[in-house]
């Protein structure tokens, strides 16, 4: 029993730590202090993770391309983010002469603030959620949608054609994929019956034999997860959907005119959004903080949550190292002709799953519908009739 006590304590270590710290204060201040502590933790933890991720990303991308990646600063190059940080802090902060200085200044700030807000509702471990909103999912999406505003603010206020083009692309892309992102999460809400993220995790935190009841292990969950992953990649402007900052055509997209620490803030915001959206994907489809096998439940829940998030980040990096950038029309076609209809169908399948009751029938029916739809829609709507050698109309 002592060991199980230990494991529970380890699992709840951050909560216990917070309670212990808060107990030094008068009772009236305790709830507020608890929240402040939580906020401080989030605000320190995720930028730290971001720093780590940038090194891992660069090293991983290097390895994917048979290069070494950064290896100069500190052992194996792990102090590279420190050097990057010093560099971005000491660089001159340039605001273009004709830019709208106020909006130009506010854009990176509002981006980072909005992204940080997303973490407030993510359950990062058992009982480890800053605020358990009963409409947490909605809150998350409203925050992630407001990042689009910051992106457009940045692009518009810079008064630079590349910034503006980048921002327009970003907004078009984010709005298109936001729909998919929302709709693919709706199927989870339909099954879990709650918009509260801790409740959604609880719904998945049970086992048949040793196997967990994660939603990704159901036909609709898998389909939803794939669609969610595609939309999440597009939402966070990651390759292959990194058109808004396509270096080869737009310099750097909406943050072309940013330098120094404001640029670093954009960079931070982008990675934080990646963490947040991976965290939400983990929560919705991968069982949040629950262990992958019933005999592994003794490992603290927060370890599971962060391993899952880092795993998703790794997949993001892997995709970035593999796929070339899409063209704008391909991106839009893909969103509206394939991903969105498929997600809508998935909603229907989820409903079917819900009302067919237990038994093997629903597995067969749902799998068949989804697989057939995937193949058919892949064939029909993604048929690339007009691709091939370029034909000239007048210059033949």
- Interacting residues with other proteins (CB under 8 A): 60, 63-68, 318-319, 321-323, 338, 374-375, 377-379, 382
Interatomic CA distance for residues 65 and 45, integer angstroms:
30
Measured from the CB atom, the residue of 72 and 87 that comes closer to other proteins is 72
- 208, β-bridge pairs: 211
Measured from the CB atom, the residue of 234 and 268 that comes closer to other proteins is 234
Smallest gap from Cβ 71 to other proteins, in A, equals: 8
Helix, strand, coil percent values for the chain (each to nearest 5): 70, 0, 25
DSSP 8-state symbol, 211: E
**Phi and psi torsions of 207, nearest 5°:** -130, 145
C-alpha torsion sign, points 172, 176, 177, 182: positive
Smallest gap from Cβ 342 to other proteins, in A, equals: 10
Interatomic CA distance for residues 242 and 54, integer angstroms:
17
Measured from the CB atom, the residue of 40 and 382 that comes closer to other proteins is 382
DSSP 8-state symbol, 300: -
Alpha helices (H) in 205-259, listed in sequence order: 219-235, 247-250
Smallest gap from Cβ 321 to other proteins, in A, equals: 5
Contacts of 223 (CB under 8 A, 6+ apart): 342, 346, 349, 370, 374
Measured from the CB atom, the residue of 7 and 336 that comes closer to other proteins is 336
Smallest gap from Cβ 66 to other proteins, in A, equals: 5
Q: Are 317 and 61 in contact (CB under 8 A)?
A: yes
Smallest gap from Cβ 111 to other proteins, in A, equals: 29
The tokens for 336 are: 């509206």
Please tell me whether the peptide bond between 240 and the residue prior to it is cis, using omega within 30 degrees of 0.
yes
Q: Quick one: which of 217, 178, 223, 202 has its CA closest to 347? A: 223
Smallest gap from Cβ 39 to other proteins, in A, equals: 37
Measured from the CB atom, the residue of 69 and 108 that comes closer to other proteins is 69
Measured from the CB atom, the residue of 267 and 374 that comes closer to other proteins is 374
Smallest gap from Cβ 270 to other proteins, in A, equals: 22
Measured from the CB atom, the residue of 42 and 226 that comes closer to other proteins is 226
- 207, β-bridge pairs: 212
Smallest gap from Cβ 62 to other proteins, in A, equals: 8
Measured from the CB atom, the residue of 48 and 378 that comes closer to other proteins is 378
Q: Are 111 and 130 in contact (CB under 8 A)?
A: no
**Phi and psi torsions of 208, nearest 5°:** -105, 115
């Amino acid at each position: 029993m002592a060991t199980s006590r230990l494991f529970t304590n380890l699992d709840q270590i951050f909560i216990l730590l917070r309670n212990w710290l808060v107990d030094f204060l008068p009772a009236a201040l305790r709830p507020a202090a608890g929240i402040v502590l939580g906020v401080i933790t989030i605000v320190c933890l995720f930028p730290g993770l971001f720093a780590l991720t940038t090194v891992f990303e660069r090293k991983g991308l290097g390895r994917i391309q048979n290069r070494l990646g950064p290896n100069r600063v500190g052992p194996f190059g792990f102090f590279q983010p420190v050097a990057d940080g010093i560099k971005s802090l000491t660089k001159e902060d340039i605001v273009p002469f004709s830019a709208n200085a106020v909006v130009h200044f506010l854009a990176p700030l509002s981006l980072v603030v909005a992204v940080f807000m997303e973490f407030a509702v993510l359950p990062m471990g058992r009982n480890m959620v800053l605020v358990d909103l009963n409409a947490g999912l909605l809150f998350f999406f409203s925050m992630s949608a407001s990042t689009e505003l910051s992106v457009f603010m940045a692009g518009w206020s810079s008064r630079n054609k590349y910034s503006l083009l980048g921002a327009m692309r970003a907004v078009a892309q984010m709005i298109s994929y936001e729909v998919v992102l929302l709709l693919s999460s709706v199927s989870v809400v339909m099954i879990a019956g709650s918009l509260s993220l801790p409740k959604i995790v609880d719904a998945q935190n049970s086992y048949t034999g040793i196997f967990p009841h994660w939603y990704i292990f159901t036909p609709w969950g898998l389909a939803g997860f794939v669609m969610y992953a595609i939309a999440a990649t597009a939402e966070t402007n990651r390759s292959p959907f990194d058109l808004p900052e396509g270096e080869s055509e737009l310099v750097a997209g909406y943050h072309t005119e940013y330098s120094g620490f404001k640029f670093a803030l954009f960079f931070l915001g982008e990675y934080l959004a990646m963490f947040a959206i991976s965290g939400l994907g983990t929560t919705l489809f991968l069982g949040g903080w629950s262990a992958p096998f019933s005999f592994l439940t003794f490992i603290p829940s927060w370890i599971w949550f962060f391993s899952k998030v880092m795993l998703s980040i790794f997949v993001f990096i892997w995709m970035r190292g593999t796929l070339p950038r899409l063209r704008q029309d391909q991106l839009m076609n893909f969103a509206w002709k394939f991903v969105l209809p498929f997600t809508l169908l998935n909603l229907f399948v989820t409903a079917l799953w819900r009302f067919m009751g237990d038994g093997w029938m629903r597995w067969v029916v749902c799998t068949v519908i989804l697989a057939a739809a995937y193949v058919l829609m892949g064939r029909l709507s993604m048929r690339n009739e007009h691709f091939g050698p370029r034909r000239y109309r007048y210059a033949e």
